[in-house]
Chain A
Amino acid sequence: MMAIRELKVCLLGDTGVGKSSIVCRFVQDHFDHNISPTIGASFMTKTVPCGNELHKFLIWDTAGQERFHSLAPMYYRGSAAAVIVYDITKQDSFHTLKKWVKELKEHGPENIVMAIAGNKCDLSDIREVPMKDAKEYAESIGAIVVETSAKNAVNIEELFQGIMIRTVCSSSLASWCWLCRRLLVSSELAAGLGHAAVPAVLGGVCLHRDSRL
């Protein structure tokens, strides 16, 4: 049986930038112009094969309106990754993105992988946020950055692939370090963490666990 890794991802970003559309495109490969605005949050899952493993994305899609920000901790708590979405045709949404990054840094889980998605790249004619700005900013915070179009299915798969690679690395690294510390204390606890293979590069040890344990 293939190993399944669960990967909690939350989507953050200004209202109407296309968070739900990105999720919808990724999970159902479907696009709807007028997808209902998210109230609170919505939850979806998608399982993607990756090498000899299955990665199950548990995606928490949040509401964009500012007054819902106070709820966000509920959703990003325990997330391995956060996709922060902005609308390339709206400068405002890029500002909101920066606020989110700040909040995550302050209150978010440690080692959370951040991915910046500049959505609606099909509308580059009316672009307000230059690609360069986003790239520079992403580099400054060490985040993945990609311009997407949920409508035309551009870079959506790539976005989540990128997250997958980064989380595997970072969590493996983190868990590796953590394991190194803990293995001496209790091997059982380590089993409880349910982490999968640590890339061989990192230490030549290959732990293989079923996440279902």
Chain B
Amino acid sequence: MSDMTQGNAPGQHYPPGQHPDMPPPPGTVGFVGWLRNNLFSSIPNSILTILAIYLLYAAIPPILGWAFFNADFEGASRTDCTAAGACWALIDVRGKQFLYGFYPDEELWRVYVAGFILLLAILPVLFDKIPFRKLLFANTILLPVTGFFLLSGTSGSPEAILPTVETPQWGGLLLTMVIGVTGIVASLPIGIALALGRRSNMPVVRTMCVTFIEFVRGVPLITILFMSSVMVPLFLPEGVNFDKLLRCLIGVSLFSAAYMAEVIRGGLQAIPKGQYEAAAAMGLSFWKMMYFIILPQALRIVIPGIVNTFIGLFKDTSLVLIIGLFDLLGIAKTVVTDANWIGLIHESYAFVAVIYWIFCFGMSRYSIWLEAKLHTGHKR
């Protein structure tokens, strides 16, 4: 073992079975080895590495300078921003609108409570090993009711504990969350139903599902939003009117359900016929077979596709601006038309982009974690 440090000396032989373990040649493991294998493995790779380092050097300092070092963080209007960088005073002053739209100041506590309830409601859905899961689940199931009454109020009179806040006053991140969460929660079960329907043996069910999916997938979301806000009222009798936001929620949910259905159908098709046969042979009914055997496997396979659809849906909520609802992006657009802040497009959009990115990146990381957790070694 005295030659452990010298690596494999050439020409040295050992009797069979006597060969000692030796360290690998120098420069193949550790930090130097990693650099060699990954960044400088060949001449083109080395050139690309150097180019990439130069690009990062050229891009990052100016961005940091604009966003932080040369930026103004306080002020009452654009003229207070004297530095060369970003004017974050805009966010400081108009932050409330970015987050809540035109929700009345004195009722904002309701938004905070609703946000807290939403957070508690999401926890038991995302994680199966948290304390008080059953209790939290009860909260989750009640969320549509509690959330609705908290945000929209119970009575029109101002003396009521929860005076009505009309939905046109909702906006910003609040509105984005309401549409996004509703769309996500509604589209998954509707999508599953449509996917099962499309694979059904019953011609009527199948035709209806196929027609719905192909129709909705064939038109842009904007068309659906327009139809829900402009055309639906035309068909309703005089005096009957239901909320624009509600119509928009239904439109968004059905739209993403059609996409979801196709993603889930892909998962269903990946399940071998033997799984259906084994379940049927054991006497499981169709719904039990789906619930216990087929869907858990099919959904696991298509987690990336499902989360992809969720992320797309979350960002598509910005299209509601078209029908006059001011979501996060809508607020960003209107804020910079204010005379005090006119022209601060970069700051406004950068702020909104960061918020969208945080939510979408969170969904993406969660899906990776979930895939790893549900991996039970059937791919050996």
Mutual binders A and B? no
